[in-house]
A and B are shown apart, each in its own frame.
Chain A
């Protein structure tokens, strides 16, 4: 993980910010509830000013991780650092982070304005300053017209924005967002994703955004950590996670992946050779081989990287090649998606750009060859049961 992380850090770092400062840092953090381990020996570093997404399926420990950063849950083991300071034993009200709760948790007895002013009032800022900052933040989230309303008189999207403003107005070190868009319909969610991203860029505060929606994470975040069973499987930029998944879980969770059981063979310069269970010989870059025990692995490729060739057509030299039969062909407009059953029995997805305007280029039942360059191949440890 560290190699890949390093490479990612170098490639995404904004110019002129200097060496990235770690803003939030979890060291060996575990959280056990009676009977379950919600978070398992987790290490996490989030840079200042990053839009960081914690992505994972339901129950993987995202909320618990966020609550430990916010101070609502004490880690069973490990330390939580904010800006280099150990805050493990500090209560939430003494931590310089604010949370946008999934349920919004707006104070029903206070107006929008008083809700937003709540944090500043607790910090005893003077009245004029509070009024000015509340006004400014309400403008930022475009709610100045509704300042006098009670939360019950607002729509879901408006409540969400009040929750955001109430946290942002404090200019905390970091903003923790627990599925802040989860309760909204798809259209509004898309719109607010963009808006959240814009606001984050405007204010430059570190955002830690919890979501189980991979598309949302990829749209918004600079860096994504994929969580699984209380651990971080892989962290990196969206492109890195997509192109170079290090585990089968990541490969399946982000986008569609085609995985075929294989045995790892000899190393051949920059490449490693693999033999699939049905005897095909494939190659993959050595630096795209994820951590694994023994030689039983899975070899994978993303659907859009594969070219379909008719049976008998000579494949490009050096290409990885599998044979199969088209099972399903779906015309999607921009592209055509094929499901191909290989000799070994796997059903692989292939997406072909619709540039020829011939939707029936390959008909169901036709024999095809799947060809792709070795450099798009990745190798992950074999997972006995799939979850996606």
Chain B
């Protein structure tokens, strides 16, 4: 057996813990990523096959051709994220502070939708919003929707679907960060002349920032690449970039464009996260938790 000094063993120990994770990342993330990068720079067609040619034009073509879907994806995802935050914050707040012995029940209710398949849930929404469904009839009754207006196949339906499907991803991190806040800090704030609203603004909210950040990422990132909601609740006029990528890959077999679109989306998301972190104050995010 190899004999190592204590200091040496200490320095090797962390690798033992992160090793499996690194291996997993290398196998299922880095390698496919490199592979796709390679594919995105190939040219050819499905019949004759593709060859690597440093074809950067695929990127510029993809951007100009699918600009609309890109913007729509970011817009829908951002709207849904904001809606999720608005709905989930009071939900998480109530669950963390006011639910008492119903707290676990509330948490169960929040994650309950996960027990059913994503696609199935969205299909259920299709039924709920359908043209001869109960909801539309009632909305027409009260005049919120005109007699020829629809719910299904609209932008509203797609955004509502995304919001619904990603709500738990927002609610759970928010709950965790709120639950962690020592309530005595709120008492201290009130002792120091802060009204309940000021105490919320100056203490609860800053300390909940890591949860807001995590929840927003967990909602925004998958929402950007989502195609299920647009496919089931919208029409081609509501298609997002996920729908384009899916059809390029699976129907048209235009692999380079699909790969290029994926990379462009990824860079958009990374830039978005960077700006968002800056806005919230990255120092706050890491230190508020201390």
Please give the residue numbers on chain A whose beta carbons come within 8 Å of chain B beta carbons, in ascending order: 70-72, 91-94, 98-99, 101, 103, 105-109, 118-119, 122-123, 150, 152, 166-167, 170
State whether the Cβ of B189 lies closer than 8 Å to any Cβ in chain A.
yes
State whether the Cβ of B61 lies closer than 8 Å to any Cβ in chain A.
no
Give chain B residues whose Cβ lies under 8 Å from the Cβ of A170.
Answer: 192-193
Q: Could you mark each residue 183-203 of chain B with 1 if its beta carbon is under 8 Å from any beta carbon of chain A, else 0?
A: 011011111111100100011
Give chain B residues whose Cβ lies under 8 Å from the Cβ of A119.
Answer: 192-193
Q: Which of B69-77, B226-234, B282-290 contacts A (4 or more CB under 8 A)?
A: B282-290
Q: How far is the CA of A106 from the CA of B287 in the complex (A)?
A: 14
State whether the Cβ of B272 lies closer than 8 Å to any Cβ in chain A.
no
CB distance from A236 to the nearest CB of B (A): 29
Contacts A93-B193, A93-B194, A152-B290 given; does A108 touch B207 at CB 8 Å: yes
User: Which 3 A-B pairs rank lowest in CB-CB distance, beginning with the nearest?
Assistant: A119-B192, A105-B188, A122-B193
B190 touching A91, Cβ below 8 Å? yes
B185 touching A107, Cβ below 8 Å? yes
CB distance from B214 to the nearest CB of A (A): 16
CB distance from B206 to the nearest CB of A (A): 5
CB distance from B289 to the nearest CB of A (A): 8
Q: How far is the CA of A103 from the CA of B184 in the complex (A)?
A: 8
A70 touching B191, Cβ below 8 Å? yes
State whether the Cβ of B182 lies closer than 8 Å to any Cβ in chain A.
yes
CB distance from A378 to the nearest CB of B (A): 41
Interface size of B in residues (CB-CB distance below 8 Å): 21
Q: Which of B191, B195, B284 contacts A109 (CB 8 A)?
A: B284
Give chain B residues whose Cβ lies under 8 Å from the Cβ of A103.
Answer: 182, 184
Q: How far is the CA of A108 from the CA of B206 in the complex (A)?
A: 10
Q: How far is the CA of A93 from the CA of B197 in the complex (A)?
A: 11
**Best-buried of B187, B191, B198 by chain A (most CB within 10 Å):** B191
A-B contacts, 7 of them at CB < 8 A, read A72-B190, A93-B190, A98-B192, A107-B185, A109-B203, A167-B192, A170-B193
B198 touching A105, Cβ below 8 Å? no
Give chain B residues whose Cβ lies under 8 Å from the Cβ of A105.
Answer: 182, 184-185, 187-188
Please give the residue numbers on chain B whose beta carbons come within 8 Å of chain A beta carbons, in ascending order: 182, 184-185, 187-195, 198, 202-203, 206-207, 284, 287-288, 290
Q: How far is the CA of A99 from the CA of B203 in the complex (A)?
A: 17
**Best-buried of A71, A105, A166 by chain B (most CB within 10 Å):** A105
Give chain B residues whose Cβ lies under 8 Å from the Cβ of A152.
Answer: 290
Given contacts A107-B189, A119-B192, 9 further A-B contacts (CB under 8 A): A93-B195, A98-B192, A101-B187, A105-B184, A105-B187, A118-B189, A118-B192, A119-B193, A122-B193
CB distance from B95 to the nearest CB of A (A): 22
Q: How far is the CA of A294 from the CA of B273 in the complex (A)?
A: 80
Give chain B residues whose Cβ lies under 8 Å from the Cβ of A72.
Answer: 187, 190-191
CB distance from B166 to the nearest CB of A (A): 27
Q: Which of B184, B195, B202 contacts A101 (CB 8 A)?
A: B184
Q: How far is the CA of A118 from the CA of B191 in the complex (A)?
A: 10
A108 touching B184, Cβ below 8 Å? no
B192 touching A109, Cβ below 8 Å? no
Q: How far is the CA of A267 from the CA of B290 in the complex (A)?
A: 68
CB distance from B193 to the nearest CB of A (A): 4
A122 touching B194, Cβ below 8 Å? yes
B191 touching A108, Cβ below 8 Å? no
A150 touching B188, Cβ below 8 Å? no
A122 touching B198, Cβ below 8 Å? yes
A93 touching B191, Cβ below 8 Å? yes
A109 touching B187, Cβ below 8 Å? no
**Best-buried of B185, B189, B190, B290 by chain A (most CB within 10 Å):** B190
Q: How far is the CA of A179 from the CA of B194 in the complex (A)?
A: 24
A166 touching B288, Cβ below 8 Å? no
Q: How far is the CA of A105 from the CA of B189 in the complex (A)?
A: 9
Q: How far is the CA of A105 from the CA of B181 in the complex (A)?
A: 11
A107 touching B193, Cβ below 8 Å? no
Give B207's nearest chain A residue, CB to CB: A109
Q: How far is the CA of A108 from the CA of B193 in the complex (A)?
A: 18
B193 touching A109, Cβ below 8 Å? no
Contacts A107-B203, A118-B192 given; does A150 touch B198 at CB 8 Å: no
CB distance from A257 to the nearest CB of B (A): 37
CB distance from B286 to the nearest CB of A (A): 11
Give chain A residues whose Cβ lies under 8 Å from the Cβ of B182.
Answer: 103, 105
Give A151's nearest chain B residue, CB to CB: B290
**Best-buried of B187, B192, B284 by chain A (most CB within 10 Å):** B192
CB distance from A209 to the nearest CB of B (A): 16
Q: How far is the CA of A123 from the CA of B192 in the complex (A)?
A: 9
Q: Which of B185, B187, B287 contacts A92 (CB 8 A)?
A: B187
Q: How far is the CA of A99 from the CA of B202 in the complex (A)?
A: 18
CB distance from A5 to the nearest CB of B (A): 30
B287 touching A166, Cβ below 8 Å? no
Give chain A residues whose Cβ lies under 8 Å from the Cβ of B284.
Answer: 109
Q: How far is the CA of A268 from the CA of B205 in the complex (A)?
A: 72
Give A163's nearest chain B residue, CB to CB: B188
A123 touching B287, Cβ below 8 Å? no
Contacts A92-B187, A101-B184, A122-B198 given; does A108 touch B192 at CB 8 Å: no
Give chain B residues whose Cβ lies under 8 Å from the Cβ of A109.
Answer: 203, 206-207, 284, 287-288
CB distance from A108 to the nearest CB of B (A): 6
CB distance from A26 to the nearest CB of B (A): 18
Q: How far is the CA of A150 from the CA of B192 in the complex (A)?
A: 19
Q: How far is the CA of A318 from the CA of B195 in the complex (A)?
A: 66
